[in-house]
Amino acid sequence: YFEIEAQRGCILLVDAFDEVPVEAHREKIGELLKNLAEEERYQKTRIVGTSRPGEHGGLTRIAQFETAKIAPLGKNEIETFVKNWGDAVYPALKGEAAAFANTLLGEIQRPQVRILAKNPMMLTALAVLHFVEKTSLPEQRSELYKYILEWLAKRRAAKRHDGGGYQDFLFKMRLLAMKMS
């Protein structure tokens, strides 16, 4: 399947290859992607690899790959995102969309929340949490993760018609996290 798709032409997304903990494995992934990109029969395929510079040391760039750095979001970008988010969650209600955006922007003005909001993924998580929970946003990354995990666990339980099962699921996730550390 992958051979056929790569020959036909596709986009191969490799997210967070810098998070592979063993440097030798990271190097092998980089070499594999470089070789794939150079392979004549895969010329229609585009490869995107994401990495944070220096998180685990070692390879964070692949030779002959173009590098693009994503800067933190500025005030204007955050305001545009929040306005567009409000318009997306209240498409037919302009007043509701504006009120939502204004409330979320007010929450983001708090110093610790503003730091989180500069990261696009964190800003998205903050916007989801604000929309779903309609509560004050947490100021610590760990609190934000906790709220998001709880929300995801509740959604999973709701889909399975297991309302109280989300606590059990979170307990299992905590055990898994402790075993992985």
Within 10 angstroms of residue 62's Cβ, the number of other Cβ atoms is 20
Regarding predicted confidence, which is higher, 59 or 26?
26
Q: Is the dihedral of CA 23, 25, 26, 30 positive or negative?
A: positive
Tens digits of residue pLDDT in 50-60: 877 665 555 66
Q: 89-105 pLDDT, tens per residue?
A: 999 999 999 998 999 89
> Residue 53: its pLDDT value, please?
66
| Residues facing residue 46 across a β-bridge | 11
HSE at residue 150, side-chain half, CA atoms within 13 A, is: 9
Two tokens at 59?
């390879």
Look at phi and psi of residue 57 and say left if phi exceeds 0, alpha if psi is from -120 to 50, else beta: left
pLDDT recorded at residue 27 = 82
49 pLDDT more than 70: yes
Whether the full predicted model's pTM is greater than 0.85, yes or no, is no
Residues in the chain: 181
Query: So what's the pLDDT on residue 101?
Result: 92
Task: Annotate 15-46 with DSSP letters as a single string.
Answer: --GGG-SSHHHHHHHHHHHHHHHH-GGGTT-E
Q: What is the DSSP letter of 7?
A: H
Assess contact for 124 and 154: CB atoms under 8 A.
Answer: no
CA distance 33 to 39: 10
Q: Which residues contact 55 (CB under 8 A, 6 or more apart)?
A: 18, 19
Report the C-alpha gap between 181 and 168 in whole angstroms.
Answer: 20
pLDDT at residue number 162: 63
Check residue 59 and give its pLDDT: 60
- Given this model, what pLDDT does residue 131 score? 84
Of 15, 26, 11, the C-alpha closest to 51 is 15
